[in-house]
A = this chain, B = another copy of it.
Amino acid sequence: MIRVLLVHDTCLVRSALAEWLRREPDLGVFDTPWHTAPGRLRAVRPDVCAADLDCSDAYGIPPLGELSVREPDRSPPRLLVMASANRPGLLKRAVEAGALGYVDKEGAAPERLARGIRRVAEGKRFVDDSLGFGFLQAAEMPLTRRELSVLSLAAEGASIAEIAGSLCLSHGTVRNYMAAITRKTGARNRIDAIRISQGQGWL
C-alpha cells in the first residue's frame, strides 16, 4: 500500500481527485490544502506527496520546502508535482525542492497521476513529455536572486524608496536593478516586467 498525501488548495478539485485516487486498491489517500500540509505530513507520514503547484497564499508560490522536512527515524516523502509548462518559475522551484515526479495537469488524465505516484514511490523519476518546453524555459531563467527580490517587492506595490529601505540598497542601485530586470525580461516597462514574471511563475 502506497500512502499518498494529496495537496491542493481548491476543495472541490481536491475532493474529486482524492476520491478518484481512492478507487485504486494500492493507494491509501489523504488530502489537505497547502496551509495545513506540514502538520498533515507529520501525522500521515506519506510515502508520496502529490502536490499541486498552484497555491492560493504567499503570492501564489507554494511552500515546497515545507514538504521535504527530514525527520530523525525515516526518509522524507517522495515529491510529485502537478504542474503547467507555462509556469517555468514554479517548475524550477519544484526541481530545486527535489521533486521526482512532474505531471502536466493541462494535459494529463487522472490515470496518469496514479501512474506517476506509483513510479515515484519506487524512487524513480516520472516526467510528462509535454512539460519539456517549460523545463527549458526554467533553465533559462534570466533574473538573479537579487533581481527577483527587488521585483517581488515592486510587485507588492513597494516604491523605489521602500525597496531600497528593505534591501539596504541605495535608490540608484534599485533603479539600476529595475532597468536590468526590464531589459532581461524583454519588457516594455516595470509593470510589463512584473506581468511577464508573474505569468511565468518567477514571482
Contacts and interface: CB of A to CB of B under 8 A. Distances in A.
A189 B190 CA distance: 12
Nearest to A193: B157
A86 B91 CA distance: 26
Q: Which of A12, A159, A187 has the most CB of B within 10 A?
A: A12
Interface stretch (A39-47, A61-69, A101-109, A117-125): A101-109
A127 interface: no
Contacts of A26: none
Interface string A1-33: 000000001111101110110000000000000
A40 B155 CA distance: 38
A144 B17 CA distance: 40
Contact of A110 (B12, B107, B110, B154): B12
Contact of A12 (B9, B11, B108): B108
A156 B198 CA distance: 12
B106 A10 contact: yes
A146 interface: no
Given A155-B195, A157-B192, A195-B157, A109 B187 contact: no
A125 to B, nearest CB: 19
A157 B188 contact: yes
Contact of A109 (B11, B56, B189, B191): B11
11 contacts: A10-B106, A11-B105, A11-B106, A12-B106, A16-B20, A20-B20, A56-B86, A155-B191, A157-B192, A159-B188, A159-B189
